[in-house]
A and B are shown apart, each in its own frame.
Chain A
Amino acid sequence: MEKLEHPLWIVQIVNALLGPLVAAALGPLGVEFAPGEDVIPNYLVMAGLILVAVTVGCLLVRNRLRVENPGKGQILLEDGVSAIGGMLEEWIGPQGRRYLPLVGTIGVFILMGNYMGLVPGLMAPTSSINVTLGCAITVWVYYHIQGVKEQGLWPYLKHFAAPPGAPILIAPIMLPIEIISHLSRVMSLSLRLFGNIFGEELVIMILFSIVPFLVPLPMMLLGLVTGGLQAFIFVLLTVIYLQGAVTHHEEAHGAGAHAEPVAAV
């Protein structure tokens, strides 16, 4: 796929500035770089760009937030925060908002990452499997940690072996199924996002190489839709996995509309 990618000027600038430093730092670890090779890959530069953009945006906005007479941007941001918080409360319950930091961060990162692919001169970092796999592993480790924290280590391990109310005898059947289903969550989370964004970028690139005027526009509009939808789906699945790990199964039977955990893979 390297042939189809044109060099991005921002990647070249970053590599010219920081490349020798990083190469020198990685040298003792046994990582060798061919001359002319980009030391810092595209997706890492783009992920760093998101980090810088979000940090600078937050610092700029911080002093303008008002309780009375909020501006349009502030209302938009508050709507976004309350949407994710509302989703957490709807699925997990009233204590769900404590997971807002990680879920919101993942959502913002993936949304911005998906939309970066539509800006000329940038690429979508989520069209690299490394970035999406990183996000998926983060979510996976996080929901296991939260599950252990909430239920305790032994009850949490026990709910893999036998669902609540079932005899412990079915553990030999349930345990492999549960382990495989939990491991496949990493694969499905990362590959879904990667496949969508990569496929979309590929289609735009192919159309662009055939007719570089107006023809890729409908696909880019579609990219706008899928980018937002995929970010939403990633957040939604994160919340569902968190709910499955965190909910106490003894209480879960009578509580709320979503008492039955969705068997989502």
Chain B
Amino acid sequence: MRKRTVLTSVLLMLAFVAVAPLHAQEAGAGGNSQMVMWSIITAGFALAFAAAFGALGQAKGLAAAAESIARNPSAAGEIRGVLILGLVLIESLVIYVLLISLILFFIQPFAG
């Protein structure tokens, strides 16, 4: 069941990827605007992936921290410090991707 879901979603994504340029070609856009379009699509996907896996990593750390606080409440202060530090270091990776996406969205380095 799970394999099939993954397969279906991958096939769907491939179908979108294959179909999208045709539409763009129909619009008669030049090379540059197509480049901008693809960079924007990439930016959206990049941010989605970064947020997803960043959240996954943060959730793992958070779960471990909550568990260990429940097991040993007297160590809560130290665990909280380590937790915040780790969360921020993970989050900063997502923030890098956010910045790259913002650059691709608004500054559009491939437009010129």
- A199–B95 touching, CB < 8 Å: yes
- A191–B102 touching, CB < 8 Å: no
User: How long is the Cα–Cα vector from A232 to B84 in the complex, in angstroms?
Assistant: 10
- Given A192-B88, A233-B88, A265-B89, do A1 and B106 touch, yes or no (CB 8 Å)? yes
* A interface, size bucket: 10 to 19
- A236–B92 touching, CB < 8 Å: no
* B interface, size bucket: 10 to 19
- B95–A262 touching, CB < 8 Å: no
- A199–B102 touching, CB < 8 Å: yes
| Residue of chain B at shortest CB distance from A265 | B89
With a CB–CB cut-off of 8 A, which chain B residues contact A194?
Answer: 99
Q: Which residue from B89, B95, B106 sits with its C-beta under 8 Å from A264?
A: B89
User: How long is the Cα–Cα vector from A233 to B91 in the complex, in angstroms?
Assistant: 12
With a CB–CB cut-off of 8 A, which chain B residues contact A257?
Answer: 78
- A191–B106 touching, CB < 8 Å: no
Q: Which residue from B85, B91, B102 sits with its C-beta under 8 Å from A236?
A: B85
Q: Residues 75-110 of chain A: 1 if any B CB is under 8 Å from the residue's CB, otherwise 0? A: 000000000000000000000000000000000000
Q: Residues 248-265 of chain A: 1 if any B CB is under 8 Å from the residue's CB, otherwise 0? A: 000000000100001011
- B residues lining the A interface (CB < 8 Å): 78, 84-85, 88-89, 91-92, 95-96, 98-99, 102, 106-107
